[in-house]
Amino acid sequence: MEIYKDLKTQKNQDFEKLLNSQLSKNKIEEGKIIDGKITKITEKFVFIFIPGLKSEPIIDINELKIIGMHDKIVEGETVSVLLERIEDKFGNVVVSALKAQKIKGWESLVEAHKNGELIDCKYIQKTKGGMIVEHVQSKSLCFLPGSQISDSPLKNVDHLIGEVHKFALVKMDMIRGNSVVSRRQVITNSKKGDKKKIISQFKIGDIIEKARVKGYSSFGVFFEVDTPEGSLDVLTHLQEISYSRVNHPDEIFSIGETQKLKVISIDTEKLQIGCSIKQLSPDPFEHISNYEVGKPYKVKVDKITDYGCFCSLEPGLSTLLHSSEMSWTKRNIVPKKLFKVGDMIDCVITEIDETKRRIAISHKLTIENPYEAFQNAFPEGSEVDGVISSMNEYALYIKLDKYDIDGFCHANDINYFGNPEDELKKFKKGDKLKVKVLEIKKDDQKVRVGLKQLSKDPFDWFKDKKVNDIITVKVVSTDNKGLIVKPESCELDFLIKKSNIAVNAADSRPSRFVGGERIDAAISELNLEKRKVNLSIKLLEELQNKEAVSKFSSPLSGKNLPFSSLSERLGDKKKKDEE
């Protein structure tokens, strides 16, 4: 190898200058887009000459065809490529025309978005949420949301596939390399210039013929109005659709149908026109003076909901028949089981509120109140036949006679004796019973009946008794709590507590009694309203002691009780045995 030590000679300086001039022409750097000239074309590959590279890079001929460069596959033609690798592990130069086009396309999209320019795109295919379009110049793919396909709803977009339209770039994601376009914005902007001119043709009160339903939402309906200068979208608010109640426009309108409108508002700043349908006809509430509260009228069922029926007294004059006003006796009414749309039913107007434009009606007021009829036929205290219609854990419900009324019979009103829950179990649905009417609440629509009231109340035995009266009772049984006793000629059992058996604690043992004994006891408490009676042998002793002291100055504690002297006799016997 020859080493040039002297670089100051004229020849060396000329050579250095020539070399630098050649290298400065082509700045070779990986990741950059550079231009190359096609030098050779084979069946599968294209050879490209790029100054500054040690060898010619090769490109698959199909790659050029994919990106639409069929006409450039000619020797001597210039092609832009992306230099990926100056030298791979095999010593080859790696370039890509496809990637170069994508990068150039993205840069052109970024520039168009920055300048607000429109781009030409072709509809490629449908996808979830919209469509995919292809930028014609760069072949870059962009996303077109479904809401941005057109300014009016389209049921089918198949006819757009393959079409080329102008689009506005609305979003560019520089990190992910995604772009979002809008056709709707282009259409809207094209109409905007003429919109002011179109709106200037209308004035409040104008009638618009054949406005076409374009779309609707929860707050109203959008109509498209055609004029010689172009089309215009107008809004009819939900409250301006009808004098009757409308929950949602889709109950009345369908896309594409035509409707007559009246212009009621014009906003020249926002370029909006508000219209009304109901104002095309007279306000039916102006005829409300023809109706009176308390009088019956025929109404037509227009709509049925879970809570009632919307009815009309006349076309446009709507009113609500609430489910609570449909029947006197039925609970948890399902309106659709009683009426159907189109039915003509009798109702009574119960309220007219002209301020709130509200009318309340009742169907049950046209029918005789069964509770009032029942009260006239069976006043409180009378007896009536019935059938058990249902029951629960605390009451029986009895359908009374021929009336569609369920009487309420509480478990405590079934029998004077026994456990109420056990008494309930003796009955079943369908059993026929005779009951006594205890209470009628006509306004509350309630009737209370009783079964035990058909027989004499055993508590009547105490009607002529008072506290401190002495009665004779029979010991039924004993336990640790005391004595279970039953007054003579009475069907009720009472408990004499252990503490009330005797004054002397030693004599207050329930075990002194075996059952069947007849003993006297005093009434210590008597409350017929609360049905409460307490008996006490101890009170009897205290009363007798008090009487004995007052007469003989000698108390007689327990002298009249069986075995009352048993403890004294046992004590005497024990002394004799000890002697």
**Number of residues in the chain:** 579
Residue 292, in any domain of the structure? yes
Model pLDDT, residue 23? 47
Total of domains in the chain: 6
Which residue shows structure tokens 């949301």? 145
Q: How far is CA 193 from CA 166, 198, 363, 502, in A?
A: 18, 9, 58, 111
One domain for residues 150 and 57: no
Of 151, 166, 187, the domain-final residue: 187
Give CA–CA dist 223/214, Å, rounded.
5
Residue 18, in any domain of the structure? no
One domain for residues 543 and 464: yes
Largest CA distance in the chain: 168
One domain for residues 274 and 223: yes
> What tokens appear for 216 in the block?
């609707």
CB environment 399-409: b (16+ within 10 A), e (fewer): bbeebebbbbb
Model pLDDT, residue 143? 93
One domain for residues 477 and 554: yes
Nearest-5° Cα angle at 576, 574 to 577: 65
Question: Who contacts 88 (Cβ-Cβ below 8 Å, separation ≥6)?
Answer: 94
Give CA–CA dist 291/315, Å, rounded.
14
Residue 575, in any domain of the structure? no
Are 409 and 447 spatial neighbours (Cβ–Cβ below 8 Å)? no
Are 129 and 146 spatial neighbours (Cβ–Cβ below 8 Å)? yes
Model pLDDT, residue 275? 93
Residue 384, in any domain of the structure? yes
Model pLDDT, residue 57? 83
Model pLDDT, residue 579? 59
Give CA–CA dist 223/304, Å, rounded.
28
One domain for residues 509 and 537: yes
In the predicted model, residues of the chain with pLDDT beneath 50 are 1, 23-24, 557-559
136-166 residue pLDDT tens? 877 788 999 988 888 777 888 888 899 999 9
Residue 574, in any domain of the structure? no
Q: How far is CA 283 from CA 204, 254, 280, 315, 487, in A?
A: 19, 25, 9, 10, 80
Question: Who contacts 8 (Cβ-Cβ below 8 Å, separation ≥6)?
Answer: none
Query: If you compute the radius of gyration of the chain from its CA atoms, what whole number of angstroms results?
Result: 52
Model pLDDT, residue 24? 46
Backbone φ and ψ for 249, nearest 5 degrees, come out as -60, -30
Which residue shows structure tokens 């990986």? 30
Residue 194, in any domain of the structure? no
One domain for residues 515 and 545: yes
Nearest-5° Cα angle at 458, 456 to 459: 120
One domain for residues 128 and 41: no
Of 264, 280, 296, the domain-final residue: 280
Backbone φ and ψ for 33, nearest 5 degrees, come out as -95, 125
CATH number at residue 236: 2.40.50.140
One domain for residues 440 and 390: yes
Which residue shows structure tokens 């043992």? 509
Residue 426, in any domain of the structure? yes
Amino acid at 323: S
One domain for residues 358 and 315: yes
**Owning domain of residue 309:** 284-366
Of 437, 454, 471, the domain-final residue: 454
7-34 residue pLDDT tens? 667 777 776 676 565 544 556 777 777 8
Give CA–CA dist 542/525, Å, rounded.
15
One domain for residues 78 and 152: no
One domain for residues 388 and 342: no
Are 344 and 298 spatial neighbours (Cβ–Cβ below 8 Å)? yes
Model pLDDT, residue 25? 53
Residue 19, in any domain of the structure? no
One domain for residues 270 and 209: yes
SS3 447: strand
Model pLDDT, residue 576? 63
Give CA–CA dist 363/365, Å, rounded.
5
